[in-house]
Amino acid sequence: MINSITDTITLNDGTAFPRFGLGTYKMDDGRTVEDASRWALEYGYRHIDTASFYGNEAGVGQALRDCGIQRNQMFITTKVWNADHGFDSTLRACEASLRALGLDYIDMYLMHWPGQNVDNRRRTWDAMQQLQHQQKVRAIGVSNFTPEHLNDLISATGTAPSVNQVELHPLFPQKQLRQYAADHGIAITAWGPLLHGHLAQVPEAAAIGEAYGKTAAQVILRWHLQNGICIIPKSSRQHRIRENASIFDFELSDAHMAAINALEDGTHYGADPDTMTYGFTS
């Protein structure tokens, strides 16, 4: 049984990583992301996920300063954007994120996308390792990496990322990637865990929820956790933020887990990491 919203897993570098957090993609900077982050922290969230590309790091940082929670009790993830791949540019990008967030260090720094330039990808990772050595970031990982991208990075650098944040949900459970990650000690975090806003495509979740007095969203989030997947559901609505956090008082049966597992059909909503080129410079 997963007992608490503050439960963590231990990453391959020893960092305690929250299994549950708030995603902030497409939240406007200022009041919108500040309120969402503040509500999340009030409801027990301790992990906030942002990115330089989101343009809302400053608002997240303001919420952190206003919340009254000790810094070492919070976990902040941000990401280096595609246009900043490369050694020196990654170092500069991290400094910019630290300034925007108003923090002395970042808990998790992710490479947002792998890109097509393998050399730049490796130089970006080298810079991230230096940032970790300098204690400007506590842990480093990647986002939207396939097994092939991971294998190249590990083979070239001898270091496995601590986390891979990817699109993952019942229709697109990424079984091969999850197995690769498990074999290499890489934690998986799901972005878009609620089917990126397409929850209505799985009416089975609502039917299952009736057995527990839970919503379809709560059922799907619980499915993730029971599969060992960390999650960062995004919402800027107060009642949704509270609802998403209310998944630690029930456990899906084996039969219901199997029913959700059977929904897999390959549907995904994000870009293909093998072809995604947006934001990259030549």
CA distance 172 to 270: 11
* Cα dihedral 156, 160, 162, 168 in deg (nearest 10): 90
Pick the catalytic residue: 54, 180, 269, 278?
A: 54
Q: Which of helix, strand or coil describes residue 103?
A: coil
Amino acid at 246: S
Residue 24 contacts residue 60 (beta carbons within 8 Å):
yes
CA distance 41 to 31: 15
Residue 271 contacts residue 177 (beta carbons within 8 Å):
no
Residue 213 contacts residue 219 (beta carbons within 8 Å):
no
> How many C-beta atoms lie closer than 10 Å to residue 281's C-beta?
12
Q: Which of helix, strand or coil describes residue 102?
A: coil
Respond yes or no: is residue 54 known to be catalytic. Answer: yes
Q: Which of helix, strand or coil describes residue 164?
A: strand
**Structure tokens given for 214:** 């839970």
What are the distances in angstroms from CA 144 to CA 1, 4, 80, 264, 273? 29, 27, 13, 19, 6
DSSP 27: P
What are the distances in angstroms from CA 242 to CA 56, 123, 239, 247? 21, 40, 5, 10
Task: Please provide the distance, in angstroms rounded to a whole number, between the alpha carbons at the two ends of the chain.
Answer: 48
Residue in 148, 6, 153 with CA at minimum distance from that of residue 140: 153
Catalytic residue positions, numbered: 54
